[in-house]
Amino acid sequence: MSKKVEIFCDGACSGNPGAGGFGAILRYGNTERELSGADGDTTNNRMELLAAITALESLTRPCQVVITTDSQYLVKGMTEWLAGWVRKGWVNSKKEPVLNRDLWERLRELAGIHAIEWVWVRGHNGHAENERCDALARQAIATFRTGGR
């Protein structure tokens, strides 16, 4: 696993639930790639997860990855909560089914392929890549609403 990739990602929703979008930037050396997408009836948390999933699924081989996000839900889910959810049969601390299990399972599978470091940054605080990912997510929502994909 010699390839080191930086991923920056963000999700957004207009209404929660409502139309949602995500944006991601993948950086390998001097090469960058932007990804985005949208859904008409979703939540902000689902878009945060989908941003990371889409970025990781675009990698063609196992990599060392640093994922930077403003989503504590995503970071804490992967670093603090996931193992307990799996051990307890996908129920949370309130004994309720874990929300977004389908996406957490996809992310868990991807985390088994790559060596991932999770980094949280404060959102809307001037972090250039986080701001760009937010813009990509919002642009994806606008494109979705006007019928583009």
Residues of the binding site for Mg(2+):
10, 48, 70, 134
77 catalytic? Reply is: no
Query: 20, 70, 114, 129: which is the annotated catalytic residue?
Result: 70
Q: Which of 6, 11, 21, 39 is catalytic?
A: 11
Annotated binding site: 10, 48, 70, 134
Instruction: Please choose, from the candidates 114, 102, 116, 49, the residue with its C-alpha nearest in 3D space to the C-alpha of residue 77.
Output: 49
Give CA–CA dist 57/73, Å, rounded: 20
CA dihedral 13, 14, 16, 17 (to 10 degrees): -90
134 in active site: yes
Q: Which of 6, 39, 48, 129 is catalytic?
A: 48
Spacing of C-alpha 90 from chain mean position: 20
Q: Is 114 a catalytic residue?
A: no
Q: Of these residues, 80, 84, 109, 124, which one is catalytic? A: 124
The residues carrying an active-site annotation are 10-11, 48, 70, 124, 134
